Amino acid sequence: MNNIVVRSIERAKVSIIQGLGEQGTATVHEAQNRMGLMLPYMRPVFSGVRVSGSAVTALTHPGDNWMLHVIPEIAQEGDIAVVGVSAENSDGMFGDLLATSYKAQGILGLIIDAGCRDSQELTAMKFPVWSRAISAKGTVKKTLGSVNIPVICAGALVNPGDVIVADDDGVVVVPRERAAEVYDAGLQREENESQKRSRLAAGELGLDISNMRSALKNAGLVYVETLNEYD
């Protein structure tokens, strides 16, 4: 595949994107059958944020951030930039200048399978970034990649327009066509969990609420009074 920039991508409905963001990564990940999670080495530069948006993607090469300068030309308000790299790399590909530009264009955050820098400035600007490293090391602009093609980022496949949900637990990718369905499954899960939470807080045991006792027994779990008794 040559080096291309795809201008026009489809996105999910705004209300669905926002709804998935409110559910958070743990719920969304369960709601799509525990698929689509990036590897846990992806960590937020600052904690306490939860964002969702449409993926605008870039494929780059180690030590080269040229394509990150093309993203703001192509992205729309509400997008999240997702950057894959063709080899493991921790260079600081993104800093406060790019963040200023991304913010000005309405981009909500960055997911990058490499490093970022100016982390104190990003924190002050409240521009959220999930990366595999923080590193002052800058990059060159010499080798092309592509924008808005399917990319692998931290072990997950991201198609342009997929919904990205990110918080302190990591980053989940929801395929655009499945976003509504996953959102509905998440709602159901939340309702179910909300009831359980009250009962657990009141001191009931999950073993009873979820009727696990017979399954545990059938699987062979044995209760003994002391370890010695068992031997």
Strand partners, 51: 166
- By CB under 8 A, the residues from 106 to 165 that bind a second copy are 115, 117-120, 123, 133-138, 140-144, 148-150, 152, 155-157, 160
Q: Which residue's CB is nearer to a second copy, number 18 or number 101?
A: 101
Q: Which of the residues 67 through 86 are near a second copy (CB under 8 A)?
A: 69-70, 72-73, 86
Q: Please, which residue, 13 or 141, has the CB nearer to a second copy?
A: 141
Under rule CB under 8 A, residue 3 binds a second copy = yes
State in angstroms the smallest separation of the CB of 33 from a second copy: 7
| First CA to last CA distance, the chain | 64
CB of 176 to a second copy, least distance (A): 13
Q: Measure the CA–CA gap between 49 and 126, rounded to whole angstroms.
A: 9
Q: Tell me if 14 contacts a second copy by CB under 8 A.
A: no
Location of structure tokens 């359980």: 196
Least Cα distance to 140 among 213, 87, 206, 61 occurs for: 61
Sole binder of a second copy in the list 14, 76, 126, 193 (CB under 8 A): 193
Q: Which is nearer to a second copy, 18 or 135 (CB)?
A: 135
One-letter amino acid for residue 74 of the chain:
I
Q: Using the rule CB under 8 A, is 89 a contact of a second copy? A: yes
Q: Which has the closest alpha carbon to 91: 68, 74, 71?
A: 68
Tokens for 151? 């990319």
Query: How many binding residues for a second copy (CB under 8 A)?
Result: 104
214 binds a second copy per the rule CB under 8 A: no
Three-class SS of 70-89: CHHHHCCCCEEEEEEECCCC
Determine the Cα–Cα distance for residues 114 and 42; give it in Å rounded to an integer: 9
Q: Smallest gap, in angstroms, from Cβ of residue 98 to a second copy? A: 7
Residue type, 132: R
